[in-house]
Structure 1
Amino acid sequence: MNNIAKERAALGMTQEQLAQVFGWRQSRLSNYETGLRQPGLNECRTIVEMLNRLGRECTLDSVFPPGNNADGNVTE
């Protein structure tokens, strides 16, 4: 699982507001937050970069922790 929702909430933003920053629909961000869809590496980097621009101090690993995939299975 990822920490997109946690970081977004810390910014005091709704899914709709953050999605607009990326030029996405709210449903796309929701799918990423819930793990229904997995963002690619470029999207992950974009998300982290924008969260930092908006005032968070995060890394790729803090937003997308290694070790678990969407099914909860441990990955390398």
Structure 2
Amino acid sequence: MNQIATLRKQIGVSQACLAKAIGWIPSRLSNYENNLRTPGLEDCRKIVMGLESLGCPCSIDDIYPPTSEVVQ
């Protein structure tokens, strides 16, 4: 389970806005948010950089927390 949508919503940003900041189409981001696809390391870094560019200081571990730290 990832925290992309949670972090994105905390800063009041739409999927389309974050996707644009990363240089992707919204459906690609949606697939990652909904765990339909798993991003590679470079894509994870792009997600982090996109969120940071929109005002959300975060790390890969914030987006993809270790399994034992996931709160459901």
TM tier, smaller: 0.7 to 0.9
SS at match of 1:32: helix
Give the structure-2-normalised TM-score.
0.83
Tell me the residue number matched to 1:22: 22
Structure 1 outlier segments of 4+, above 3 Å:
none
Identity of paired residues, percent? 50
Compute the RMSD of aligned alpha carbons.
1.4
Q: Which has the higher helix share?
A: 2
In structure 1, the gaps of 5 or more residues are: 69-76
Q: How many residues align?
A: 68
- 2:59 and 2:18 map into 1 onto residues whose CA distance is 18
Q: Aligned AA for 1:64?
A: Y
Q: Structure 2: where are the runs of 5+ without partners?
A: none
Q: In the TM superposition, what whole-angstrom CA distance separates every residue of 1:5-52 from its partner, at most 9, and x where no partner exists?
A: 011111211111111111211110100000000110111011112212
Q: Matches of 2:9 and 2:25 in 1, distance apart?
A: 18
